[in-house]
Every structure is written in C-alpha cells, then in structure tokens.
Structure 1
Amino acid sequence: MPDIHPARIREQALPLTDEASLDPLMERIGDARYVLLGEASHGTADYYQVRDVLTRRLIEEKDFSFVAVEGDWPDCQAVHRSVVAAPGAPEDPVEVLEGFGRWPTWMWGNTDVAAFTRWLRRHNEQRPPGRRVGFFGLDVYSLWESLDAVLTHLREHDPDRVEHALEAYRCFEPYTEDPQSYALATRYVPEGCEPQVVSLLTELRQRAARAVTADSSLTEFAARQNAEVLAGAERYYRAMLDSGPESWNIRDHHMADTLDRLMEHHGPDAKAVVWAHNTHIGDARATDMADTGLVNVGQLMRERHMGRGVVLVGFGSHSGTVIAADTWGGVPRIMEVPPAHAGSLEDLLHRALPGGRMLFVFPHVQFQRPPDGGRREWFHQEHGHRAIGVVYRPQFEQVGNYVPTVLAQRYDAFCYLDRTHALTPLHPVAAESREEQTWPVGV
C-alpha cells in the first residue's frame, strides 16, 4: 500500500464547525430522495447530534417526508403519532421514548433523540396534517408486539376476521415470547408458524390495497406493516440458529423493503432520511461483508434506486467514550473507547487531523479500481474501519471490530469526529433483559 501523506488528507478535509459547514454535503445530496446516515456505534452522542442537525436541514430546506430508523415498527409508530400530533397521542414524544422496552433501550430512548423528536413535533405543528414529517421503524425484531398490534387493529376495524389472526397467535403462544424457543422448535416442525403468518399477511395486504381514504390508508398501512414484520421476524428467528449470512440478509432485506413501502405510501415525490449503524448504511460491496455473502440496506438502496438519488453518509472516531453493555441484555455503562488500532482508517485520520471534526465528500462512487501501479487516493485504499455494537468489551477489542473498507466506495461522504462522547439514556436499564442475542452481535 502506498504511503499516505497527512497533508493530502488535510487538503481534502472540510472542517465541521457549525450548521453551515454541512453546506458541501447538502450540495452533494442535491435532489437525492434517499439519504442514509450512519453511526459507528449505537451509544455515541456526537453521531446522533450531527445526524440531528443534518436531518433538520433536509426537512426544512429539501422537504424530506419522513425519518426511518433502525428500530421496531410498533414503538416507532407510537413516536410517529406523537410527532405528527395525532389525536390521542402524547403531546411530548419523550413520554413515548421513555416507554421503549426492548433492549437496548438507549438506542432510541436517549436525550438526543428526545431533542430531535420534540423539535419535529414543533415543526409539524406549523404544517398542515397531510404534510407532516413522519418517524418510522424499519427493523424486524418485534414479532410478538406486531402480532398484538395486528390483533388490536382487527378487533377495532374488522372483528369478523379476528379468529383468523388468532390462528397465528395460538401457533406462537406456546413459546411465551421467546424467539429462541420458537426457532429451536422449527428444527422438529420446519414450517413452524409460517403458514398462519403468510395467510394473515396476504389478507392484510389485500385490505391495505383496498383502503381509499387518507386516514384509512394510514391505518391499514400500519396494520399491513405489522404483518410484514411478523412474517420477517418469523423467518429471521428461524434462520438465526444457523451460522451464515441468511439471518442478517433477511433483516436487511426487510428494512430495505419497509423503506420502499414507506416511499410508495408517501407518494412519488417522497424523500427519506434513514438512521442506522454504518454496517447497515455503508455499501456492503465495499467491505469484506460481500466475501461472506452479506448484503445490507445501503447496497440494496443503491442497486434499486440509484437513478433516483441515494446518498450514504458514514461516521467514525478515534477515541472517546460510549455507552454499551459487556453482555447481551446487560445493564449499559459508559466505557472508554481506546485509541484506534494502528493502520486503521480512524488511526490514519487521527494522525492527520488530531482533535479534528471533519467532513469528507467523495466523487460519485465507482467500483472499478485503477490499473495496478496507478495512483490511488487514500479513500480508495482498503483500511480497517471500527464498528462498535451494543455489546462491547473495549479491553478485548479485536480485529473483528474493524471492517475492511474502501471508504469512498462504501459511502458518498464521511464525518470524522476525532474524540466522541457517550450518549445519555432517558432512564437506566435496571435489570438483565431476557431478549435473545442476535447475530451479528449488536448492530
């Protein structure tokens, strides 16, 4: 690998000092309809804060339609109802965030998300109801919560069909909301509850397609989405027992499909901001994820929608503090993030930009590498790029925490924040969680 002179990196770095310093990124986004904003950990305040500032500008200046996050659909739907001032919803979205119960609760139940959602509520109150900016969850984990939501919906809107939904409920009931028990049971009955789930999903898809008014359309869309989560979660938890890429790919395909459904629901002029971990946002083809058959949301969005504009923004830091747990389901605590490994991307940037908070905006992505012997910029070379999950043991930080990455192929822009700080949960997790560990850990 050719030597990289720090002066070259400094020439290309754009200082991040205030909202106006994001102008080059806003220009790069242009008319893009999909802006995906990453994070190198789920427990770092600085990443949330930069995403907050950029998202507010996208909403105010470019009329983005909704924010979609790496969170559960039922929980985030409750946040959505609050931020759009739906009848009967809490006036303060923080009341909803404080009620998030799935571990790791600090991912969305923290003071930075609280500040953003309160701003979004105030912003929406100045807009007509049909043009308010939404807040939605993309993830696949909420099997039982989504099943409960489907039953509640049918009891209210179509009681004649409740018995049909109860067939799926009774199939899952013996597993007492334990996804691992359900997954193990499918070793003996391979189809598990899939027939009941598919039948329920088909019915709710048809109901959503028949919805005609704006209010009923939104209600039916949410019911259908809970059924989609139910189907995706059922597949995910069955696949989770096997080593290999299938469970990861089920999850990221589900998130990408949910994003597509949200865009279709919001109409042909819709624009989406996505908040998720770098491992979901950054194009998997520019990492070693592709070598093991993994895909992710960033790759899928580029492949499906490049003609309509997709911009991927990554984040990283050299050292600082983070909130995480040292076991799955454990009580979170503030941990020191050690200096990045020698030779990593973060180490390279720290040596060039000690103490810096910088933005890099890259030329439009090209996956063709220059001929051997050709000069390659540092961002077209492969470096390890740190990823911290909700489970983290800094004293044992391993090579596995670093994803081999060609930066300018993985992202369209990158925010480097040399030293970062742990976010603040709205409330501490007081007890160990029964939530089963998922793979790969913590992202």
Structure 2
Amino acid sequence: MTDQTSLDPLLERIGDARYVLLGEASHGTADYYQVRDVLTRRLIKEMGFSFVAVEGDWPDCLAVHSAVVAAPGAPEDPGEVLAGFRRWPTWMWGNTDVADFARWLRRHNEQLPPGRRVGFFGLDVYGLWESLHAVLAHLREHDPDHVEHALEAYRCLEPYAEDPQAYAPATRFTPEDCQPQVVSLLTELRQRAARPAVADGSLAEFAARQNAEVLAGAERYYRAMLYSGPESWNIRDHHMADTLDRLMKHHGPDAKAVVWAHNTHIGDARATDMADIGEVNIGQLVRERHMGKGVVLVGFGSHSGTVVAAEEWGDVPRITDVPPAHTGSMEDLLHRALPAERALFIFPHVQLQRPPTTGLGEWFHQERGHRAIGVVYRPQYERMSNYVPTVLAQRYDAFCYLDRTHALTSLQPLAAESLEEQTWPVGV
C-alpha cells in the first residue's frame, strides 16, 4: 500500500475535500506512519494541501515547522529537531519515519516560494510550560507593556514546579486556582491579535495567540482530569479541533489540511461506544463543522505484529509482540476473510446511526471490536481494554488494513523520565 497506484481509489474519494484525517491504530507502529507518509506526499504534490497538523505539542511541532519551511536560523535537518523531543513518549513523533517525511517536506518546500511552503503543526493541548515561556518571550520582544499578564500566570503556576500532576490536585484543596490569570492572558493575546497594527497574518503573532490558547486549554484540562467523566477528553479534542480551525483560517479560504492522529481521535466518536459516555473527538467535530467543505476520515488496523510501547506510564518502552486479534473482532474478521496482506476499503456515504444489533447487513455496517493501542500496552490484558465497539463504515470513510505490522524506530534511546506526560492519563 506504499506504492503509487494502490492509493489511487482513496485519492479519487478525497477529490476536492479540504480536510483529510489519517489515523493509526497505535502510536508505535512503523507501517501506519509509512502509509500516511506516502498518501500525504501525494496530497501535497498532486492536490495542493497546505499543511500537516498532528497529535503533538504546539511548541515542539512549531520548531519542526521552522525546519521544514527552511525558516532563517532553523536547523537544516528536521530530524535533528525531532530527535530533540524530550517529553515522554518521545518515540511518538521522534522516530525515523516522521524524520523521513519531514526531510522530504523540507526538500519539497525549498522548491517553492516562502508564501506557499507546506507547514507542520501540533494540535494538542499539552506543552503548557513551553507555551507560557514562549508567550513571555514574545511579549517581552514585541509588546513589553503587556508582559505583566503573562507574569501573573507564571507566578501562579510556578509553585507547582512545572508539574501538571501537582497543579491539578492542588486545585481541590485551595480556594483559588490559576484560571483567572490564564484567562486574562488569553484575553489579552486575543485582543492583541485583532488589532490592525498586529493582525498582519504573520506566523509569529499567530503562534503567540496559539500558545495562549494552549495555556488556557491545558489549565482547564488538568483541572478536569481530577473528576470522572468525559470532560477532560472533550476539552482536549475540542482544543485540537479549534486549533485546526484557527490554522485553516490563518492559511486562507483555499486552505486544505492533513491531520495525523490516533484512530481514537480521527474516527467519528458517534460510531463507537464513546458516544454512550458523552465523549466527542476531532473526527466527529470536523464532520459536524465542515462536512460541506469535504471531510474524509481514514482509519487503520492490523491483525498482529510488533509495536513500541511501555507497560506503565512513563516506563521504559520496548518492542512488544502484538498477538493475533481476538476472535470476532474487526481485525480477526479481515485476517480470516482476505487473501492479501494489505487492503484498502472505501465505504459508501457516511451514515451516523449505530445499528441496535450486530449480525445484520454488510460487515462494515456491523458493530465489532476494533483494536486500539496507545503508548501504554499490556498484551495480556488487551481483550479487556484495547477494543472499541465500532461500526467501521460510519466511523471512517476509508480503512487501511495491514495484516502484520512492525514496530517503529526511535531517533533517540528510549527513556523513562517525564515532566509533563504527553497523553496522560489515556495514552492516545
């Protein structure tokens, strides 16, 4: 599925769609990254897509963006930036497959004028401390009269030693949290972005506003994590969908976006049991907001293989065997039914009503378990926790099945330390 012609039916389905969301069934599988790479290159070269937005931190990915667009002073090798990622799980984006794509993207961009170069951005709500420091630096350079709001937020958060897990529980036992200071800073950055003298369309001003949005979103996210229910998940995915909307607006009325994220974020939540507990995700939100502009959701899955993952949060990751999918799951069905090791399915137009029972109609309209592996994975328990009840043709517009897949290769030694866990506590 990494050759040119095998993806032609998917390119035809995408057509003039402006949003293409590409999933993955795990964060540690090379094959998913490689297929996304091949497809994304074609979307950029043949269909004029404007940027790639990933399930990664805004500050870290902005450094990758600077390298791939050959910004002044940025490293010539984007792989050098990816190898410098320090927050666990580093292998999620700091791996050889992402580095290969980023290096290609830089070569592609070097043939284009600066205003048409294709970007690489992070959508996620993490990177709170890096975003706060970036806002401070930007205001000190460009608007020193308004540094005080940023310093107020910094002073409020500083006692927690850049540890969100320390900040979040503290809000339960103290009468005040840092929300007023953070909201005040965000309001200031939003107002600044709207001023005629500032609203010049520059990435620097956009990035400053986005860093403030990350700061506000992360503060809400960590407070919400203390309580059971869907709120923290929904804050995160709303933030990612809102960031995507801001990026599209920044790139202009003809912009087109490719999104890379886990299936759990990409596949429409309404076609899974996520909807039963009130969770939404990027795929659902983008369909609801932008279906008229063309939205294509592409999921991935495999039957067996190997994956990079850890047994506990923050633990040393290792290459782990992925056992054959359990009986009755979507992956088990496809493994037994297909003669080929790889297959691409293009589904009819999306229907958003989950069937009340299984066993009726075509297989892709039946509800079956669909495997999802995060950065924490224990194969011995996967039947209890790694299968999402899914109606495949409603969750995705297309599905890439790769029968046996292989672990990716990290750009740096796999380490355990973590200051701000990137996808804590859910791991996807």
Q: TM-score, normalised by structure 2?
A: 0.96
CA distance in 1, matches of 2:270, 2:162: 35
Q: Which moved more, 1:251-260 or 1:326-335?
A: 326-335
Aligned partners of 2:68 and 2:120 also within 8 Å:
yes
Which stretches in structure 1 are left out of the alignment for 5+ residues? Answer: 1-15
When residues 46 and 215 of structure 1 are mapped into structure 2, their CA distance, relative to the original with a 3 A threshold, is: farther
Alignment of 1:17-416 (within 5 A): 18-189=3-174, 191-210=176-195, 217-353=202-338, 356-368=341-353, 376-416=361-401
Cα 1:371–1:164 shift into 2, 3 Å: closer
Question: 1:234-278: CA deviations, max 9, x gaps?
Answer: 000000111110000000000000000000010000000000000
Native 8 Å contact 1:139 1:254 kept in 2: yes
Aligned with 1:430 (options 406, 415, 420): 415
Q: Cα deviation per residue 1:102-132 (whole Å; 9 max; x = unaligned)?
A: 1100000000000000000000000010010
TM-score (norm 1): 0.93
5+ long unaligned stretches in structure 2: none
Q: Give the distance between the partners of 1:429 and 1:359, measured in 2 at CA.
A: 33
2:360–2:366: 8 Å Cα contact kept in structure 1?
A: no
**Alpha-carbon contact 1:364-1:412 (below 8 Å) kept:** yes
Question: CA contact under 8 A between 1:76 and 1:135: conserved in structure 2?
Answer: yes
Superposition deviation, residue 354 in structure 1: 5.2
Check 1:178–1:370 CA distance in 2 against 1; reply closer, same or farther (3 A cut).
Answer: closer
1:155 offset after TM fit, Å? 1.3
Pair 371,82 (structure 1): closer, same or farther in 2 beyond 3 Å: closer
- Give the SS at the match of 1:221: helix
Worse-matched range after superposition: 413-422 or 238-247: 238-247
Q: Note if contact 1:328-1:437 (Cα within 8 Å) is conserved in structure 2.
A: no
Q: After alignment, is 424-433 or 115-124 more displaced? A: 424-433
Q: Residues 151, 246 of structure 1: CA spacing in aligned structure 2 closer, same or farther, 3 A cutoff?
A: same
Give the counterpart letter for 2:222 in structure 1: Y
With 184-193 and 417-426 compared, the bigger mean Cα shift is at 184-193
Counterpart-to-counterpart distance in 2, 1:369 and 1:155: 52
What RMSD over aligned residues (CA atoms) do the two structures have, in Å? 1.8
Q: In the alignment, residue 90 of structure 2 is paired with which amino acid?
A: T
Secondary structure class of the residue paired with 1:166: helix
Cα deviation per residue 1:253-309 (whole Å; 9 max; x = unaligned)? 000000000000100000000000000000000000000010000000000000001
2: CA distance, partners of 1:266 / 1:423 = 32
CA contact (8 A) 1:240 1:439 kept: no
Shift of 1:367: 2.4
Aligned length: 428
